[in-house]
Chains A and B, each alone.
Chain A
Amino acid sequence: LKSQARISRFFRCS
């Protein structure tokens, strides 16, 4: 089963 990832998992605060 797959779950929805969030953007913050991939992109960091600049």
Chain B
Amino acid sequence: MLELRLVQGSLLKKVLESIKDLVNDANFDCSSTGFSLQAMDSSHVALVSLLLRSEGFEHYRCDRNLSMGMNLGNMSKMLKCAGNDDIITIKADDGGDTVTFMFESPTQDKIADFEMKLMDIDSEHLGIPDAEYHSIVRMPSSEFQRICKDLSTIGDTVVISVTKEGVKFSTAGDIGTANIVLRQNTTVDKPEDAIVIEMNEPVSLSFALRYMNSFTKATPLSDTVTISLSSELPVVVEYKVAEMGYIRYYLAPKIEE
């Protein structure tokens, strides 16, 4: 049996909003490590990896590893019925075909149960190799969201280049071109406002802005975002989920054939 109690239920609500437009159906895996998900978008260009560590839950019971296939749109519908301050408990029986989401108001005067049907999902689990990235950029997540949104009004591909000068986001379209350069800036009042550029080697890669924009749905989860780039690999766009885990989006680059 499985019983996971998350006091900060709004985190789970935000997590679902961050992935439901990218992935339709996915298996949530539950083990002693935590509650996790790995899934690709329907065109297999992007991959999302979510981990909510068991220590982040107030109560975490998972008697044996369990994989629960869920339609993320339906799960999102149910979680939208939870208040932002509600405590959310996820419950399931081993071998059962449903999962229950229980919402408790902070004052315990309202308790709701939503039972959702599980589904069988055939999904391949991919091995993500540990990599040394050529460049890693950390910046305010709202700034990254703004850049992706602005550039997608001009073009559909962003070129992200990291050099000694900073990180450059460029696009081109029918009406013209756009370049946005950010320089490292660590002299800020709040650490989350810093722009930190760690360049081991210069790198330049092209990506579809449509996916980048989709990743920025995770902006409410974290003040900062980390973008890791290597010329041989998909970019990793990572948002921390409070102290308990992360959402990592992997996006395959556009490459010359």
Q: Mark A1-14, 1 if CB is under 8 A from B, else 0.
A: 11111111111111
Complex Cα gap A10–B46 (Å): 11
Question: B249 → chain A, closest Cβ, in Å?
Answer: 11
- Nearest neighbor of A8 in chain B, beta-carbon distance: B44
Q: Please judge, given known A-B contacts A1-B256, A2-B256, whether A7 and B250 are in contact too, CB under 8 Å.
A: yes
Q: How many A-B residue pairs have CB under 8 A?
A: 57
Cβ A14 vs Cβ B254 within 8 A: no
Closest A residue by C-beta to B157: A2
Q: List B residues 200-239 near A (Cβ within 8 Å).
A: 206, 208, 232-234
Chain B residue numbers with a CB within 8 Å of A4 are: 45, 208, 252, 254
Chain B interface category by residue count: 20 to 34
A2-B254, A4-B252, A5-B253 are known contacts. Are A10 and B206 too (CB-CB below 8 A)? no
Q: Per-residue 0/1 for B122-134: is the Cβ within 8 Å of any A Cβ (1 yes, 0 no)?
A: 0011111100000
The reply to whether A6 and B44 contact each other, CB–CB distance below 8 Å, is yes
Query: What is the CA–CA distance of A10 and B250 in the complex, to the nearest angstrom?
Result: 10
B206 and chain A: residue at smallest CB distance = A2
Of B129, B250, B255, which is within 8 A of A2 by CB?
A: B255
Are B254 and A11 neighbours in the complex by a CB distance under 8 Å? no
A5 touches B255 (CB 8 A): yes
Query: Chain B, 10-48, contact with A by CB distance < 8 Å: what is the 0/1 string?
Result: 000000000000000000000000000000100111110
Instruction: List the B side residues contacting A14 at CB < 8 Å.
Output: 125-127
Residue of B nearest to A6 (CB): B44
In the complex the two chains form, what is the Cα distance from A14 to B255 in whole Å? 24
> Would you call B234 and A10 a contact (CB within 8 A)?
yes
Q: Is the CB of A11 within 8 A of B255?
A: no
Judge if B189 is at the interface, Cβ distance under 8 Å: no
- A residues less than 8 Å from B126 (CB atoms): 7-8, 11-14
Which of B47, B255, B257 meets A7, CB within 8 Å? B47
Q: Give Cα distance in the complex from A6 to B208, angstroms.
A: 12
Q: 16 A-B Cβ contacts within 8 A? A: A1-B256, A2-B254, A2-B255, A4-B45, A5-B255, A7-B40, A7-B44, A7-B46, A7-B47, A7-B126, A10-B232, A10-B234, A10-B252, A11-B127, A11-B129, A12-B127
Known: A7-B44, A11-B129. 14 other contacts (CB 8 A): A1-B256, A2-B256, A5-B255, A7-B47, A7-B252, A9-B252, A10-B233, A11-B127, A11-B250, A12-B126, A12-B127, A13-B124, A13-B125, A13-B126
